[in-house]
Structure 1
Amino acid sequence: MSAADRRAYRALRKRLRGLLGEIGVPRPWDLAEFCDRVARHRGRPIHLVPAELPPGAPDGAWLAGPTVDVIVYDADTTILRAEHIVCHELGHILLGHRGAGLGPELTPDVSPELLHRMGVLHRAGYADAQEQEAEVAASLIWKLAGRTLVAPRRALDPAQAEVVDRFAELLERDRDG
Structure 2
Amino acid sequence: MWAEMTSMEARFGDATRIVPLPNPWNLTSYLAAVAAHRGRSISLHTAPKALLHEIGCGGGGLWIARKHDDIIVSDVEATDRNADHIVLHQVGHMLLGHGTRESTREVPPRLALMLPSVSPQSIEHMLGRDEFGVEREREAEVFADMTMVYATLPQRRSRSFRLFGRGK
Q: TM-score with structure 1 length normalisation?
A: 0.68
Displacement of 1:53: 3.2
Q: 1:170 to 1:138 in 2, by over 3 A?
A: closer
Matched, 1:35 2:37: no
Matched, 1:14 2:10: yes
AA partner of residue 29 (structure 1): W
Match of 2:45 among 44, 49, 55: 49
| Whole-angstrom CA distance in 1 between matches of 2:19 and 2:149 | 15
1:85 matched residue in structure 2: 86
Per-residue CA distance 1:94-149 (angstroms, 9 max, x = gap): 1111266478x9xxxx973438997x6854511100000001111221222226xx
Matched, 1:64 2:65: yes
| Whole-angstrom CA distance in 1 between matches of 2:149 and 2:86 | 15
1:114 matched residue in structure 2: 116
Q: 1:48 to 1:102 in 2, by over 3 A?
A: farther
Displacement of 1:44: 0.8
Alpha-carbon RMSD across the aligned residues, in angstroms, is: 3.2
**Aligned partners of 2:9 and 2:163 also within 8 Å:** no
Match of 1:138 among 117, 131, 144: 144
| Whole-angstrom CA distance in 1 between matches of 2:38 and 2:127 | 23
Question: Which structure carries more relative contact order (alpha carbon 8 Å, separation 6+)?
Answer: 2
Larger radius of gyration: 1
State how 1:98-177 maps to structure 2 within 5 Å.
98=99, 101=104, 112-114=114-116, 122-123=128-129, 125-146=131-152, 172-174=165-167
1:96 matched residue in structure 2: 97
Q: Which runs of 5+ in 2 are unaligned?
A: 121-125, 154-161
Q: Which runs of 5+ in 1 are unaligned?
A: 148-168
| Whole-angstrom CA distance in 1 between matches of 2:131 and 2:163 | 37
Displacement of 1:173: 4.0
| Whole-angstrom CA distance in 2 between matches of 1:74 and 1:171 | 29
| Whole-angstrom CA distance in 1 between matches of 2:49 and 2:115 | 10
| Whole-angstrom CA distance in 1 between matches of 2:131 and 2:43 | 21
1:159 matched residue in structure 2: none
| Whole-angstrom CA distance in 2 between matches of 1:18 and 1:117 | 33
**Aligned partners of 1:64 and 1:102 also within 8 Å:** no
Aligned-partner SS, 2:50? coil
| Whole-angstrom CA distance in 1 between matches of 2:142 and 2:81 | 17
More moved, 57-66 vs 121-130: 121-130
| Whole-angstrom CA distance in 1 between matches of 2:163 and 2:97 | 30
**Aligned partners of 2:85 and 2:144 also within 8 Å:** yes
